Amino acid sequence: MPTRLIKRFGDWLGTWRGTCEFSDGRAGLMQFRLTSVFNGEAIQVDTASYIPESGAPMTRGSGFFSLDRQGRVVNNIYADYLGFAVLVETPDDPEVLSLEGGLPGNMTLTVTMSVANDLMTLSSRVGEGYKSAPGRPRTYTQMKRVGPIQRPKGDAP
């Protein structure tokens, strides 16, 4: 019996790659890998971005999705250029996952993700204060799935 988390995000599991544009204007290649852990109790998200010309790594990060008692997604994240944060789901369209949380230094991180037609779209924005500033530049990426859908069969090592 799949967990509520897997019922909602099972189709997101797998590896996704595509081009991205960072908020400072740099171009990059982005990879997301979503893996079920503890039989779907959580989803681990590993991210990496690379310099397009050389393939050298630019940024890396990891995170976990799970559901809180209200059924909202809670996202514990680490990114080498941002540090650590806990993001909580904010209201949005049903097929969209929007997350927001505080960063050190009175900064706020917002992330919006969706999957449609096997294309994962992600945008993120860092702003100052309790709410991220809508006018700020954002990091934007669209990624295609690499390989077949990885349905959860057990825990990944």
Partner 1 sequence: MTNPLIRLAAWIGDWAGQGEVADGTEILFRMQVSSAAEENAVCFHMESWIGEMQLLHGLRLILAPRPDRSLHCMGFSTRFGMVNLTPTPDDEDVLALAGPTTSGMQLSFSLIQQDADTLIATGMARPQDAPPGFTAAGGTHGTLRRVTPWRPPGP
Distance between CA 47 and CA 136 in Å, rounded? 23
Query: Which CB sits closer to partner 1, 62 or 150?
Result: 62
CB 125 to partner 1: min, Å: 18
Q: Which two tokens stand for residue 92?
A: 């949005």
Contacts with partner 1, residue ranges (CB under 8 A)? 37-39, 41-42, 44, 46, 48, 57, 60-62, 64, 66, 68, 74, 76-78, 80-84, 86, 104, 155, 157
Query: Any idea what DSSP says for residue 104?
Result: T
CB 40 to partner 1: min, Å: 11
CB 3 to partner 1: min, Å: 11
CB 93 to partner 1: min, Å: 25
CB 85 to partner 1: min, Å: 9
Query: Which CB sits closer to partner 1, 86 or 146?
Result: 86
Query: Which CB sits closer to partner 1, 81 or 129?
Result: 81
Type and span of the H or E element at 78: strand 73-79
Distance between CA 118 and CA 12 in Å, rounded? 9
Q: Which two tokens stand for residue 44?
A: 């681990």
Distance between CA 77 and CA 18 in Å, rounded? 21
Distance between CA 124 and CA 112 in Å, rounded? 6
CA distances for 147 relative to 21, 33, 116, angstroms = 24, 12, 16
Query: Which CB sits closer to partner 1, 67 or 140?
Result: 67
Query: Which CB sits closer to partner 1, 118 or 155?
Result: 155
